Amino acid sequence: MKVNAVIIVTAPQGNEGALSAFDFVAEFCTQKHNSISVFFYQDGVRQDYSTWHALQKKYNIKLHTCVAAARRRNIDSDNINLSGIGALVTACSATDVKMVGFNPHPPFRHPHSKLENGSSKYLIILHNHPNNNFLAAEALDIALGIAALEQKVSLLFSGTGTLQLLIPDSLKILAALNLYDINNIYVTDISLKNNNLHYKKLKLQPQVITSEQVTALELDNDIILSF
């Protein structure tokens, strides 16, 4: 049976996550009729692309490197395929995609039917501390990019990612979410408690949900990405 997969690599070259992603793709490609697209994002743009290109030449896999993430990190663009978020959405939205892999935080793809306009429902979980280099900002970037392509996007702040609700730079972006029809914004009650945050003091007031409600939220979405 043919299986199409999308792998999102966020770990840099030499990291255990990047190595496991490469090994997985190499093994996956040996299975007859399988096809795969790889999207390098965040620190995942820091790769030894020669090894990936060798795999691409042998199995005709598709490699995409996020142009914004590469430019932020001054990555030499020679001999790599720079792509926008649209390439990721196109790959994930293909009707025959059976699996979406994410490295190092695995997402899920639920076999839901698409919305009436043909779009998918994405849940993006933000868990990175706001001071963690570009990572927190890039999670919001991908949310806006996906929403701009007329996909349904919800946000869930979890762990130290909840602190993004206090940072002025993040709040400027979050204030514009309604312009992209991103109206479903959530935070877990345990994350507020663990970070000593009081809901009423937050300038942006997302919906507070329990762990049980998180499970229901995940089941209600087609694709879950975690940053």
CATH number for the domain spanning 16: value is 3.40.1260.10
Burial class (CB in 10 A: 0-12, 13-18, 19+), 32: exposed
Task: Confirm if 183 and 204 have CB atoms less than 8 A apart.
Answer: no
Residues 128 and 78 in one domain: no
Please check whether residue 162 lies inside any domain of the structure: yes
Band of residue 10 on the pLDDT scale cut at 50, 70, 90:
confident
For the residues 34-42, what does the mean pLDDT come to?
88
Q: Which of 71, 104, 137 is the last residue of a domain?
A: 104
Residues 41 and 132 in one domain: no
Per the structure, the count of domains in the chain is 2
Domain holding 96, by residue range, is 4-104
| Residues with a known catalytic role | 66
Residues 41 and 127 in one domain: no
Residues 145 and 202 in one domain: yes
Band of residue 188 on the pLDDT scale cut at 50, 70, 90:
very high
Residues 92 and 141 in one domain: no
Please check whether residue 116 lies inside any domain of the structure: no
Higher-confidence residue of 72 and 200: namely 72
Locate 8 and state its tokens.
């999102």
Residues 221 and 126 in one domain: yes
Q: For 51-93, write each residue's pLDDT tens digit.
A: 999 999 999 899 999 999 999 999 988 889 999 999 988 888 7
Residues 20 and 91 in one domain: yes
Band of residue 182 on the pLDDT scale cut at 50, 70, 90:
very high
Q: For 146-162, write each residue's pLDDT tens digit.
A: 999 899 999 999 999 99
Please check whether residue 134 lies inside any domain of the structure: yes
Please check whether residue 216 lies inside any domain of the structure: yes
Please check whether residue 109 lies inside any domain of the structure: no
pLDDT at residue 199 is higher than 70: yes
What whole-number distance in Å separates Cα of residue 164 and Cα of residue 178? Answer: 17
Q: Which of 52, 74, 104 is the last residue of a domain?
A: 104
Residues 96 and 191 in one domain: no
Task: Confirm if 8 and 102 have CB atoms less than 8 A apart.
Answer: yes
pLDDT computed for residue 224 by the predictor: 86
Please check whether residue 71 lies inside any domain of the structure: yes
For the residues 164-188, what does the mean pLDDT come to?
86
Residues 68 and 12 in one domain: yes
Q: Which of 104, 137, 164 is the last residue of a domain?
A: 104
Task: Confirm if 155 and 214 have CB atoms less than 8 A apart.
Answer: no
Please check whether residue 113 lies inside any domain of the structure: no
Strand order, beta sheet including 184-188: 108-109, 223-226, 121-126, 152-157, 184-188, 207-209
Residues 76 and 142 in one domain: no
Please check whether residue 206 lies inside any domain of the structure: yes
Residues 131 and 209 in one domain: yes
pTM: 0.82
pLDDT computed for residue 40 by the predictor: 93
Residues 67 and 141 in one domain: no
